[in-house]
Amino acid sequence: MQDVDEYDELPDDVERGTIGSILFDEKEDGEGKEVPFLSVHNEPVGFKSRKRSIFIPNTPITAKIIKYERSVTTHLLHPYLYTIELQHGNFTWVIQKRYKSIQFLHQQLKLFRATLMIPFPTEKHRNDRENFKELKKSGENEEGKSKTALPRFPNKPEVLIGYDQIDKRVEQLEDYLNKLLNIKLYRDHPETIEFLLVSHYSFIKDLGDKGREEFIEKQTGSMQRSCDCFGLLEALNCCGPCSDFCTYNCNRWKKRWLFVKDTFLGYVRARDGLLRGIVLFDQEFEVASAFSNVRRRDKLQILNLQRRLLVKCDGSKKRQDLSNYIKETAKKQGYGFTHDNKYSSFAPKRSDCTASWYVDGSSYMSAVADAINSAKEEIFITDWWLSPEIYLKRPVLRGNHEWRLDCLLQKKANEGIKIFVLLYKEVKQALGLDSNYSRNTLRKLHSENIKVLRHPDHAKSGVFLWAHHEKIVCIDQTIAFLGGMDLCYGRWDTFEHRLSDFGGIHCSTCSFPGCYFPPEQPKWTEEIDVFENLMSKETTVESFDVNPANLSKEFIDRETSHTQIQTRETESKQKKESLINGNINFINNEMETPREPEEVKCDTPELERKTFMQRMSECVSGNCFSAFSNEVPAEETAEMIMDEVDSKEVNHKEFERNDSRDELNAPPVVYWIGKDYTNFLLKDFCDLDSPFQDLFDRTKTPRMPWHDIGVMVHGHAARDVARHFIQRWNAVKIEKVKKLHFYPYLMPKSYDHFDPPPKELTDPQYKVKCQVLRSVSAWSAGFLNPEAYEESIHRAYLECIIKSQYYIYIENQFFISLARQNDLLKNRICEELCTRIVKAHAEKKKFRVYVIIPLLPGFEGEIGRRSGTSLHAITHWNYSSICRGSYSLLEKLKEMGVENPSDYITFHGLRKYSEFHETYVTELIYVHSKLMIVDDKIVICGSANINDRSLLGSRDSEIAVILKDEEFVEGYMNDEKVPVGRYASSLRKYLFAEHLGLLSQCHRHDSGDRIGYRDLVDPISDDFYTKWVSQSNNNTTYFEEVSTFREFKAYCKEEKLIDTDFESAKELIEKIKGHLVDLPLEFLKSEDLSPKLTDGMTGLMPMTLWT
């Protein structure tokens, strides 16, 4: 018998192919490249296919036998077990093989080589023959043999190899494997790939180490809790083992390729290479023997919060090895997810992260647009509401739609970027979000690369009251944006919070005063002088120097939810109609119920509604008026002629005109196009499939400004945000589209490597510690245990309140929490605030709490009417939490001995005043932020409101981050120097400056009662606190005098000062500074605002809907 086996050459009659060399040459120029992460989304290929792309290009594989074990008793013919270490690029892994496995591989390759001599009439076989011939023509190897020849294989049986010969056998096998793996034709053969235990997920750098891979058998039904025999076992009160026995025998076994990565494992169907499941390591992750029954001890059970896998391996040793490997991986690389984390969060604390903050939609959406534009692999988006036609950067000039969300996503999809969108599926009878329209619109952009799922299916899941409320944009699993802002209508705004937007045209041949270009939002720095330089630039429009606030009783007309003062020259109204007139229906609040209002102010009759283009055509015969100018000469607008467009024909193309057209015919410059111009207290949204058509007359109705806050995190924290999205996406896929393979499972990236943030993100980035928090449960995250939930946001809020030293600053859409333990509200925010204030009072220490919420909830309707029942319900719970009843915060503080709670805590809202057609109007600024800042060191920001819906975990799904500064500067607390965090303090100072009107004022060093920039340094000093309260009081209307509906109606009918003495009214208005106003704690205090059965559907809804 020959010691080695050599195979003959291929006959010369094999045709020469046209494909290049199939021999891997280590001397080939160029270093090996990485396998891109985007390849995980490639079209799946079956394991037997020769088209599989597995290895890193131009990178050799080396094999070294590092260990051998001899066991004659159990393996008589093949006593040696070889441990082979393989190296491919930066990847190293170990396999264990016996001689018979290597011999079997050699025989399969000999058979494959022999088949190349037979010209089978298949394209696959023809290509193999052509490649083989090309390799043969390429020359000889170093031993003078043809490059098509298989390496020399040792044929001597293992049983004849003694201890004195084993070293030589090891050398022979090493040599064989290294030469074999150097020939691409044989290396890429399916038998070689299976021998090496590799797959198309093995060498993707962003997935981490290669991990362990092998074939297993998996039992079907991994998402089921257990088999119940159609309810019979439960009805008969059968025990757990009976259910397990039924589960084991009822479900089928399927062969799957299992791969284990650093923080998850997955399995693939070998027949077509399709990824069939992902199991994330989490706090419930467990690997154990399947059942106690001895007959089933070869089985392995893998559990996590979402899955229950039952697998079996080829032999007990492989089962034990696999079990040990998974446990070790979960214990080490997956430690942050498998062990208890602070606040019981799914994610651990992360150090050395970078973060940015964004106040108001302008800066946030601009950064989101830049990030999306920089995406290279994946884009994850989840929103409560998403409007595809929203413009992320404004103003929109001359038909440039590059930064419209749908256009931007389509552009990235055309580049091959994979985009995944999760939308909340609303109850149509309650909300008019029309998520179906959003889904269909996005799908049509690029069906292959844009995948959209909606959740939940209400009838199937039984979930009618709760919502997916997260707002996430995650790019390449490397940077993540989150906070309170959906990418939808009404959210884009600037710190100026304009009340009007009539549009204008700016072109090179004429100067149009109505075209106003807003300054970039100022960036805050720690040095006050730098900040003052940034703020010293005067605004170009004087009408916006007047900041929002309420004046006095004489100025308010709340009958239409805003103050609209009659102009003294009514005859000029016809000449100054808006460019846009139509119909709008806007939903702002996540829980509102749309209805046809009994009375909607300023809504023009149906026949009088006109499109943007029709209004533009009217400029020819009249004056075009702009909110950003006092006068527009008629001769300057005479040239602005545009073709009339019938309102029924308004569609996306209306704003997609060719840039080559005459600039004079370009669309006007507007900031809020179509349905983006909103005032949701007056009108809800409808007809969302006509995005560019207004639904009320913007010349008569001011918009409602929107104040919101978002954050961006980079690095580990962004990976955690992506992991949350992936967990939710995979759960929804299994629940809704498990068998639709064009909706893929998603895989989390490894935490070993991060690309730097895109250079387009120029906002300051701060070094912070970060932890991702969330509220999720079985319905929202697909947990198997119906009682499982996570409320880490709530826990973080409570701990930060308890451990606060100097101050707490809160901005939130709601403030619903009682100060005593009760059966109505379960969250403990007010309870801990009360305890902390009482502690400060007892210790006689300075401690401040600032709370800013909307002056009115964001529900359509009018106070005192049936259309306002939803508004009444939220108002009832807000005031019950703050000041009304023994369970309220202020009443509890007084009971605990705090005689004057306002020394410690103040409640505020935001309001804007502005010129509007030579008169003045006012509107509340809707506060939608979900923010808490503590001691200038800690920030919690996300999507969670202060109510049970957001905080308890079992209701709405939410996400947030807690950010703790790692870089500090010198600050002051109560006139004492203390270190303050750069991130938290800069955000707090910016918000204070915006609310106090310092961002748009040219004065810097005010004295006396007026606040200057230097006052913002110390947020708890008596001097600053007094000025803060004083300015808020000066800006506040006399809402507190209105205690009943009767008084409110009489109040609305009173004659206004603006009608009797315009100049005096104007002087008072000019004294308003900033947006800050007092929350009217006495407003409607004598009315019972709680929902009643007589309130129709509102009264029939459970209390939990509002709390």
**Could you give the C-alpha distances from 952 to 38, 344, 783, 808, 947, in angstroms and in order?**
37, 13, 16, 21, 8
- pLDDT per position as a tens digit, 789-820: 999 999 999 999 999 999 999 999 999 999 98
User: Strand locations in 535-638, DSSP E?
Assistant: 563-564
For residue 141 the two structure tokens come to 């190897």
Give the pLDDT of residue 567.
Answer: 37
Residues whose CB is less than 8 angstroms from the CB of residue 418 and which lie 6 or more positions away in sequence, other chains included? 38, 41, 377, 378, 379, 449, 451
Phi, psi torsion values for 818, nearest 5 degrees: -95, 150
> Per the omega criterion (within 30 degrees of 0), is the bond before 395 cis?
yes
Q: Under the phi-then-psi rule, with left for phi > 0, alpha for psi from -120 to 50, and beta for the rest, what region is 231?
A: left
Cα angle, residue 537 at apex, residues 534 and 541 outer, rounded to 5°: 140
Question: From CA 908, how far away is CA 1009, in angstroms rounded?
Answer: 19
DSSP secondary structure letter of residue 669: B
3-state percent breakdown (helix, strand, coil) of the chain, nearest 5: 30, 20, 50
What 3 state SS string does 673-696 have?
A: CHHHCCCCCCCCCCCCCCCCCCEC
- What phi and psi values does residue 1057 have, to the nearest 5 degrees? -60, -30
CA atoms within 13 A on the CB side of 557: 15
Distance between first and last Cα of the chain: 85
How far apart are alpha carbons 1082 and 13 in whole angstroms?
100
Burial 747-756 (b: 16+ CB within 10 A, else e): bbbbbeebbe
DSSP type of residue 492: -
User: Per residue, what are the HEC states of 64-133?
Assistant: EEEEEEECCCCCCCCCEEEEEEEEECCEEEEEEEEHHHHHHHHHHHHHHHHHCCCCCCCHHHHHHHHHHH
Please give the Cα distance from 129 to 108 (Å, whole number): 17
Question: How many angstroms separate the most distant Cα atoms in the chain?
Answer: 119
Domains of the chain are 4-205 (3.30.1520.10), 211-339 (2.30.29.30), 350-492+708-736 (3.30.870.10), 578-698 (no CATH), 789-1100 (no CATH)
In whole angstroms, give the CA distance from residue 2 to residue 79: 21
Q: What pLDDT does 428 receive? A: 85
Quick one: pLDDT at residue 682?
Answer: 75
Residues of the chain with pLDDT under 70: 1-32, 120-121, 123-126, 128-148, 222-250, 290-297, 398, 504-668, 684-685, 859-868, 1000-1012, 1037-1065, 1086, 1088-1100
* pLDDT of 1023: 94
The pTM score is 0.81
Query: What's the pLDDT at 980?
Result: 97
| Measured distance CA(1074)–CA(1056) in Å, rounded | 22
Taking each continuous run of H as one helix and of E as one strand, the counts in the chain are 29, 34
Q: How far apart are CA 930 and CA 939, in angstroms?
A: 11
Could you report the per-residue pLDDT of 216-271, keeping only the tens digit for each?
Answer: 999 987 665 555 555 555 555 555 555 555 555 668 899 999 999 999 999 999 99
